[in-house]
Each structure stands twice: as structure tokens, then as C-alpha cells.
């Protein structure tokens, strides 16, 4: 199979919602995005304590960078970023309702050209930032951070 331009398009150009990657295994993600470029713990600091919630995998699919957090072997958070402009159409395609019919509701933003946020009824969240790209977080990750 040809990697590079063609291999990244199953998720970008085929209009597959990015949220459908939530729940995938490392093998499924690697089959979609290519080999793991970097692997490290996914940690955050809360109340002065460092907490490891999973493993962070990074993939390079020029011009995209994909980062996925796996908890218990399943993708619970995924981020895609690239340099350059993001069109409204690209965001819409990546956030269209997934196969389960779960749709996103946008939360009003005072600076939509720089920052946008969405939520789903199941507790999943999505955030787009001009400097960091689009991040989709499952409700499991949100609950994990709240509990710790």
C-alpha cells in the first residue's frame, strides 16, 4: 500500500467522522495512520499530583499530525493538527455524526475564528484551537480526569 498522501485520506478525505476513531485499538489506528512515530505516557497535573491516565501515541501523515491517547488499550482521545487554514467544511466533515448517530452541539464562542467547542449528549467533547488543531475526547477520559 502506498503511504503518504493516500494513506491519510481514509480519515480526512473520505469524510469519516474523527469521533469514530474513539474506541479503536493501537493496531486499528496504526493500520489507518501508519506506524507509531512516538510513544509516551499521557499524564496531567491536578491538585499538585501527576496522574497517568494512559498512553499517548503519535503518528505523522503529512501534512497531518495525529495524537491518540489509549486507556486500557482503546483510543479515548484523539487530536489532529496541521499547519495552515482549517475550512468550516473540514471541521464539519470531521465532526459529522458518527455511525451511532451521535451528533455534536456547538457551544457559543466569543472568538470563533480562534477557538470553537462542541459537546455530545454522551459526555464526549470536541475542541478546535487555531494553534493546536482539533481534539475529540471521549466521556471516559473526561470522567477519568474528574475522578482524580
- Say how far apart CA 42 and CA 1 lie, in whole Å: 31
Q: Which residues contact 15 (CB under 8 A, 6 or more apart)?
A: 93, 96
Q: How far apart are CA 46 and CA 95, in angstroms?
A: 29
pTM summary value? 0.78
Contact criterion met (CB below 8 Å) for 145 and 44: yes
Give the pLDDT score at 77: 93
Contact 10, 30 (CB under 8 A): no
Please tell me the predicted confidence (pLDDT) of residue 10: 43
Check residue 21 and give its pLDDT: 86
Measured distance CA(54)–CA(72) in Å, rounded: 7
* Residue-by-residue pLDDT tens, the chain, 148 positions: 333 333 334 444 444 567 778 889 999 999 988 999 999 999 888 889 998 989 999 998 878 899 999 999 999 999 999 888 888 788 888 887 665 677 888 998 888 888 999 998 888 899 999 888 999 999 876 555 444 4
Task: Return the SS3 of 39.
Answer: strand
The count of other CB atoms within 10 Å of the CB of residue 133 is 18
Amino acid at each position: 500500500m502506498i503511504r503518504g498522501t493516500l494513506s491519510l485520506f481514509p480519515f480526512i478525505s473520505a469524510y469519516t467522522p474523527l469521533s469514530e476513531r474513539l474506541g479503536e485499538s493501537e493496531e486499528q489506528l496504526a493500520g489507518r495512520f501508519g506506524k507509531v512515530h512516538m510513544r509516551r505516557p499521557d499524564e496531567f497535573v491536578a491538585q499538585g499530583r501527576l496522574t497517568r491516565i494512559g498512553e499517548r501515541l503519535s503518528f505523522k501523515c503529512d501534512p497531518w499530525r495525529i495524537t491518540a491517547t489509549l486507556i486500557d488499550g482503546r483510543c479515548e482521545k484523539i487530536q489532529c493538527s496541521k499547519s495552515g487554514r482549517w475550512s468550516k467544511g473540514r471541521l464539519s466533515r470531521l465532526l459529522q455524526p458518527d455511525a451511532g448517530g451521535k451528533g455534536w452541539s456547538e457551544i457559543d464562542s466569543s472568538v470563533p475564528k480562534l477557538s470553537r467547542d462542541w459537546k455530545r449528549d454522551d459526555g464526549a467533547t470536541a475542541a478546535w484551537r487555531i494553534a493546536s488543531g482539533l481534539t475529540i475526547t471521549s466521556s471516559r477520559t473526561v470522567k477519568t480526569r474528574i475522578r482524580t
